Structure 1
Amino acid sequence: MAPSTGLNQAIKPDSTLFKSFVGVAAIKKGYEGVDRDKIARTVYETSKDSLYFNHQQKRDQALTEKCNALMEKKRLLQDSDTTPQLVHADKVIARLKDNRDLSQSIVHIDCDAFYASVEQHDRPDLKDVPFAVGDTVVAACNYIARKTGCRAGMVIAVAKKMCPSLTIVKPNHDRYREVMAQICKAMQKYDPGYEICGTDEAYLNITKYCTEYDIKPWDVVESLRKEIRHETGIAVAAGIAANIQLAKISSTFIKPDGQYQLPNEPDIIMAFIKDLPVRKVTGIGYTLDRQLASIGIVTCEGIFAQRQFLRNLFGDRLFEFLLEVYLGCGRTELQATLEQQKKSASIERTFKETSAPDIIERNLRTVCKEVEAKLKELNRAGQTLTVKVKMNDFESYSKQTKLPKAISGARDIFQHSLPFVKATLASKPHQPCRLLGVRLTQLVSKDYTLSAAFQRMADKSTHSKPDSLLGAKEKEPSSPAGKRKLGNLDSRELSPRKKKSSLATESSETNPLEPSRCPSEMVRCPICDQDQPLDNVSFNQHLDICLSLSEIQKYS
């Protein structure tokens, strides 16, 4: 049955669908005192009868049904003996209390409205006007724009209705990466193993630094924030606490510019977390917040009151996570940013909706070039490719593919991504596309990949017949193929080399890839037996001369 789109029939101002249109304005800093009903009403009036509205309505209906099922399941549990579940929950709580680590000093750095802050720093004329950064969707907006109800994730057309005087600024991702690199450089001094979260947040563990220099965490963070401000002109908020969960919550109290420290004392932590809305906790989004509210959990304290039901309602994993939230537990081990970056390279971009194949392909090329740039920074190539396509009805389609070999160039990424994009578009004829994403995982060093290719060539050559790799080089050419000409170059004239009857007869002392003969920054080519720089560009140029295209394909 097609969903009704009339306000009186489909949604009411107090309905969950209507409230969902408020989005992040319900919890973000800068929206205090803003008329949230106005936000919801504007989004509704602008989007009703649209594919976006239908998509949101379907999601809301599905979530409402899930919440109703949870309430019914809880009702049945209340009619049964829940003593065993209560005892089990208390045992888990006792274990979590015994195992929690309150000895660390974790810092959460938040560059609030990061894109907008960078633009405002670079363009002082924006300081006193409402503006948003974005193309078709708001990526960030300044606090003046927030006061009018504009928010991240809002379509530009809707944002313009919320604030007719809104100035739109095109995003400059290169500039944002440059500023973030400066911030990272400042953080590295205090914790080389800092962890980046998203595009504008980071965690540091300054415990070791404080111990080594006999300095208080508060003073360290104050110095860090001053350095960031001096180097970038950007203000940051910082939370200091015993773990990443508490540190992130703490930073929200002091945005956009300041610092807050939560003492590492159990009683103070419990008092701090007690009345905190569960929606403020990292890991609890809109969907889980709705589900928890349906069974009577609105604040963290409510988790304890309902603990006997949680395991049966949500399963073991979420049950334990919620008890950790109640106790203020969280992770203290950080995942170093460099290690994170080595695992994947991905880009998602929202474009102006279009069904034109040439424009979509051009947009895909743009995304692939950005992924290439990320891989180049990391000196990595990836072997598992994931492509994502989102249509204008907000339905997403994705496919993961294991590639024959690791790739890193924009052209290769594009060629492997395009078939799925075309297939998706063909399955949705004439339907506009609004987002494209490309992700490469299973990353390996380019140097390792190239060295491995040389090793494979060497291995193949040692198992081939004499002269099979060198062709006619070791014998008199009896045909044009004997000289193996590459363009106008005769491969025999490329570089001098000793005559050998076969690579297969060489001992380990004369293996062209033997480390003792090739320093770490050099590698010996198994074709011409000459040392070459361990550099991707140089290797490729050398290979173009040493091997014909067919032989490159043969050995790759």
Structure 2
Amino acid sequence: MTSTNEGQPRAAIIHADLDSFYASVAQRDDPRLRGRPVAVGGGVLLAASYEAKRLGVQPPMGARQARALCPDLVVVPPQFEAYTAASRAVFAIFEDTTPHVQGLSIDEAFLDVSGLRRIDVPPAAIAARVRSRVREEVGLAITTGIARTPFLAKVASGVAKPDGLLLVEPAWESEFLAPLPLGRLWGVGPVTVRRLARFGLHTAGDVADLDREILVGLLGPGGGHHLYAAVHGLTHNRVEPGRGRRSIGAQHALGARARPWRETEAVLLSLVDKVSERLRAASRLASTVVLRLRYGDYTRASRSHRLGQPTDSTALIAETARGLLEREQAVIALRGLTLVGVALMDLTSGTAYQPMLGDVAGSLDETIDDVHARHGRSSLRRASLLGTRERAGFPGIG
């Protein structure tokens, strides 16, 4: 735990988050767009400037709906090379500030500045300096939250947006959290918010009055323990450099026996269910789906497909993985298959991009995740897996 000389907890974790990153890069690079409502995307919007958001434009809204709300909206195509260059420049500033940087996505990171207390200015002044450097050297606005833990720092930066700085001293944590809507808390999704609202629970303060066992009963072990820790300041307090996940994957050994194609597909879909649920739990979106195979002669192959837009949709990931597998059907029939795996790569923050499919698919995924968290993965599974579990030894079920 970071602390002062007197051994008291200290707010020394900074969460730095670029404001409306894609749209801000577009406005930076084209002076004609500055001060105007701007969105990035095509038929579906990936990002919107704050000028557009104030008029009701909210990605992943369709461009037609967005223009109905905001007739002056300027929609520009994404420029991924520009985003990558800007991100690298900003992260260079982070790493020049402290060696303890944990990147969360292309546009946000945690910085632990506790080790600088004897040789530098206080953490809030360091955060102010980072903001000034990013604006002057990269031409972008960035918001910072400073607190005792990464969780609180991220919540603070969300409250401070746009283009703000908010320090949450340890003595003020309860006062800061109590009035916040539950949806403001990192890791608390809309399904959880809706469930708790049915019991009259709307703010962090409402939940803080409940015993841990009650929250576990309402949300299951995973959700209940996380929310209890969140509202009581018990989340972990370390920044872990290099921990940002680059991929999420799972694989399953099939054995040497021949099996029906339907059974192989069912194993694949079980793996997809597992990795896509992990993806959403990590608040990430994936841009690339990778299929990994080991044939009967123990040679290996890897096939991948880059999606048109990052997603966390189980349906889209399953469709992509199944398509990759079907292309290998002739080879598998000839050589056999002893292992199949799925990996999701090129991960980005779930707040930086939006999924391709609509809200219905997203809500279904969230509902399934919630059922699994409360009752276990065996409580709800694909119909295609029924009756084949014992034969295939399915991964990630039960």
TM-score by length of 1: 0.45
Is structure 2 residue 300 aligned with structure 1 residue 396? no
Q: Note the C-alpha offset of 1:371.
A: 6.1
Taking the aligned partners of 1:421 and 1:175, their CA distance within structure 2 comes to 36
**Deviation of 1:389 (Å):** 7.8
Q: Distance in 2 between matches of 1:195 and 1:344?
A: 18
Counterpart CA distance in 2 for 1:385 and 1:333 is 37
Q: Which residue of 2 is the match for residue 147 of structure 1?
A: 54
Would you say 1:194 and 2:101 are equivalent positions?
Answer: yes
Q: CA deviation at 1:418?
A: 5.2
1:148/1:103 Cα in 2 relative to 1: closer, same or farther (>3 Å)? closer
Distance 1:383 1:294 in 2: 49
Match of 1:125 in 2: 32
Cα deviation for residue 438 of structure 1 reads: 7.4
**Contact (CA 8 Å) 2:288, 2:306: kept in 1 or not?**
no
Contact 1:388 1:399 in 2 (8 A): no
The residue number in structure 1 matching 2:205 is 301
Distance 2:199 2:303 in 1: 41
Q: What amino acid maps onto 1:304 in structure 2?
A: A
Q: For 2:237, which of 332, 350, 365 is the aligned residue?
A: 332
- Correspondence for 1:315: 220
The 3-state SS of whatever aligns with 2:28 is helix
The answer on whether the counterparts of 2:246 and 2:345 sit within 8 Å (CA) in structure 1 is no
Alignment partners' CA distance in 1, 2:152 and 2:244: 22
1:207 to 114, 126, 131: 114
Matches within 5 A, 1:430-469: 439-440=344-345
Which residue in 2 is equivalent to 1:286? 190
> Kindly tell me: are residues 103 and 421 of structure 1, through their superposed partners in 2, closer, same or farther at Cα, counting changes over 3 Å?
farther
Alignment of 1:136-535 (within 5 A): 136-211=43-118, 213-265=119-171, 268-307=172-211, 309-337=214-242, 339-340=243-244, 396-398=315-317, 419-420=324-325, 439-440=344-345
Distance 1:165 1:118, change over 3 A: same
8 Å CA contact 2:160, 2:166 repeated in 1: yes
Deviation at 1:274, TM superposition (A): 1.3
* Counterparts of residues 98-113 of structure 1 (less than 5 Å): 102-103=9-10, 105-113=12-20
Post-superposition Cα deviations, 1:298-326, rounded to whole Å, max 9, x if no partner, equal: 11111133325222232333222121122
The match for 2:372 is none
Q: TM-score, normalised by structure 2?
A: 0.62
Preserved CA contact (<8 Å) 2:104 2:244: no
Shift, 1:254, TM fit = 2.4
2: distance between equivalents of 1:309 and 1:205? 34
d(CA) in 2 for partners of 1:264 and 1:301? 16
Q: Is the 8 A contact 2:24 2:49 kept in 1?
A: yes
How far 1:332 sits from its partner (Å)? 2.1
Q: Structure 1 residues 385 and 248 mapped into 2: Cα distance closer, same or farther (>3 Å)?
A: farther
- SS of alignment partner, residue 244 of structure 2: helix
Q: 1:383 to 1:283 in 2, by over 3 A?
A: farther
CA contact (8 A) 1:245 1:329 kept: no
User: What stretches of structure 1 of length at least 5 have no aligned partner?
Assistant: 1-100, 346-369, 373-381, 401-413, 424-436, 442-556
Distance 1:386 1:264 in 2: 46
Q: Helix, strand or coil: the match of 1:315? A: helix
Q: Does the 8 Å contact 2:192/2:219 carry over to 1?
A: no
Cα RMSD of the aligned pairs, angstroms, is 3.4
Q: Is the contact between residue 384 and residue 440 of structure 1 (CA under 8 Å) also seen in structure 2?
A: no
Please report how far the alpha carbon of residue 202 of structure 1 lies from its aligned counterpart in structure 2 after TM superposition: 1.1
Q: Over alpha carbons, which structure has the higher Rg?
A: 1
- Number of residues of Structure 1 aligned to a counterpart in Structure 2: 276
Cα shift readout 1:336-362 (whole Å, capped 9, x = no counterpart): 24x5366569xxxxxxxxxxxxxxxxx
Give the AA of the match of 2:30.
R
Query: Shift of residue 278 of structure 1?
Result: 0.9
2:258 corresponds in structure 1 to: none
Is the CA contact (8 Å cut-off) linking 1:388 and 1:438 kept in structure 2?
Answer: no
Whichever residue aligns with residue 297 of structure 1, its letter is L
Per-residue CA shift, 1:132-184, capped at 9, x if unaligned?
A: 11122111111221122111211112112211221110000111010000000
CA distance in 2, matches of 1:289, 1:279: 6
Contact 1:210–1:220 at 8 Å: present in 2 too? no
CA contact (8 A) 1:385 1:438 kept: no
CA distance in 1, matches of 2:65, 2:343: 28
Distance (Å, rounded) in 2 between the aligned partners of 1:260 and 1:302: 23
The percent of aligned pairs where both chains have the same amino acid is: 25
Unmatched 5+ stretches in structure 2: 1-7, 250-286, 290-299, 329-341, 347-398
Task: State the partner residue of 2:276.
Answer: none
The Cα of 1:239 is off from its aligned counterpart by 0.6
Q: Aligned partners of 1:421, 1:155: CA distance in 2, in Å?
A: 32
Distance 2:117 2:131 in 1: 16
**What SS is found at the alignment partner of 1:302?**
helix
Check 1:302–1:421 CA distance in 2 against 1; reply closer, same or farther (3 A cut).
farther
Question: Are the structure 2 counterparts of residues 140 and 342 from structure 1 closer, same or farther at C-alpha, using a change threshold of 3 Å?
Answer: closer
- Give the Cα–Cα distance (whole angstroms) in 2 for the partners of residues 328 and 217 of structure 1: 19
